[in-house]
Amino acid sequence: MPRENQDQKRQAAAEVRQELRTVAQEHPRITWVWAILFLLLSFIAVGSVGLAVWEWHEAKQARKAEQQAVEDREEIQKEVEKIKGKLKRAEANANERLRERDQAQEEKKTAKRSEQELKAILDFLKSRLLATGRPGDISLSAAFWAGTQGQNLTTRPGLTLRQAVDEAESHVAEVFGDRPLSEASVREMLGLAYLNLGAATEAVRQYERAFELREAVQGDNASETADCRNQLAVAYRLAGRHDDASRLFHHKPDSPTHASALVVRGLMLLEEKKPAEAELKLRESLLIRQKMQPDDWSTFETKSILGEALLDQKKYEEAEPLLLSGYQGMKKRESQMPSSAKVQLTRALERLVHLYETWGKKDQAAKWRKELEKAKR
């Protein structure tokens, strides 16, 4: 752009000089005027060249400054990236230290819980099963580890080893109801005790409950769960239930024991206020039980608990038929239910009352409340 301006100015100056020569030839008297104008035009031309040079120099300086600014910006960007990298690494290190701290604290808590649970188990066994008797009597622990039937060994007058084990078993749910893994450990010990007493059927019941709890809490792949599964399989064989033993040895998931474990897990999730997750476990359990135990009272218990999971999600229309069928099915099979399980009838009624109260159906709620009060009486 400066070169074009310079050429245009030179051409204009040349035209003016030509005009001045023509005028000077025609009018000699004004030659001196022409000379002055010529000088002026010369100065203008020189000034134009100088201006062009100055503009070129300024443009070059501007380009140089722009290039320097770009280089400075790139350098600053590199420094920023380095700082970001250092901050990221520092944050990662800090998070790792926090994770290690939290893990250490959790391991400390776990160790403390394990210590407390072990103490509770030992105290229970000491007070309920392994206490020594009167002077001259053999302790239950001696009889137990000796493998004797223990019919004539007592810790107090008239109490046989079998009676002592039965009495201890009757208190397990009460003492360890809120500590499933401790309950599982105690029931495994009681199962072994029953096997030593030749009571394989009672041993099966203890191992089944222990396996349900371990599978629900620790998962199917935990080593403790696998050990308990094997112990249950042995108990099944000693009790003459060879098909059940074979199924466990081959580890088939479609089993009543697995269904019971799913129910336990579902109940735990309901306690944790996670009804949607509980629903999935309970539906899986119900499918297994409907396939393998369609007429068993536990299948209808599962229906009632599944209805509770739906009720907690305010799915009233889906919950109602399950809650009704669950209660009615258990009521019809009440004679088949162990005495310790009959409390489930009361809980099923409580769920029905809660359903109709929260659903706003007062007449139905009043009807089932009367039934609940009658059952409690």
What is residue 357's predicted lDDT score, i.e. its pLDDT? 94
What is residue 193's predicted lDDT score, i.e. its pLDDT? 87
Direct distance between the N- and C-terminal alpha carbons of the chain, in angstroms, rounded to an integer: 108
Select the more confidently predicted residue: 114 or 133: 114
pLDDT band, very low/low/confident/very high, at 123 (cuts 50, 70, 90): low
What is residue 144's predicted lDDT score, i.e. its pLDDT? 42
Supply angle C-alpha 227, 191, 262, rounded to 5.
Answer: 60
Helix pair 223-238, 180-196: axis angle to 10 deg? 30
Report if residue 39 sits inside a domain. Answer: yes
pLDDT tens, position by position, 301-343 = 999 999 999 999 999 999 999 999 999 999 999 998 887 788 8
* pLDDT of 165 above 80: yes
Report if residue 51 sits inside a domain. Answer: yes
Report if residue 21 sits inside a domain. Answer: yes
* pLDDT of 143 above 80: no
**Domain count along the chain:** 1
d(CA 377, CA 371): 10
What is residue 370's predicted lDDT score, i.e. its pLDDT? 93
d(CA 89, CA 86): 5
Report if residue 77 sits inside a domain. Answer: yes
Report if residue 71 sits inside a domain. Answer: yes
Select the more confidently predicted residue: 71 or 364: 364
Query: Which 3 state secondary structure label does DSSP give 205?
Result: helix
* pLDDT of 86 above 50: yes
Three-class SS string for 246-286?
HHHHCCCCCCHHHHHHHHHHHHHHHHCCCHHHHHHHHHHHH
Q: Is 136 buried (19+), middle (13-18) or exposed (0-12) by CB count in 10 A?
A: exposed
Report if residue 67 sits inside a domain. Answer: yes
* pLDDT of 292 above 50: yes
How is residue 341 annotated by DSSP? G
State if pTM tops 0.85: no
Report if residue 41 sits inside a domain. Answer: yes
What is residue 314's predicted lDDT score, i.e. its pLDDT? 94
Q: Which of 243-247, 264-268, 314-318, 355-359 has the least mean pLDDT?
A: 243-247
Average pLDDT over every residue of 30-36 = 60
Report if residue 212 sits inside a domain. Answer: no
What is the residue-averaged pLDDT of the chain? Answer: 77
Average pLDDT over every residue of 260-275 = 86
What is residue 301's predicted lDDT score, i.e. its pLDDT? 95
Q: Which helix (H) or strand (E) holds 300?
A: helix 297-312
pLDDT tens, position by position, 44-76 = 655 666 666 677 777 778 788 788 888 888 888
Question: Which structural domain range is residue 30 located in?
Answer: 2-85
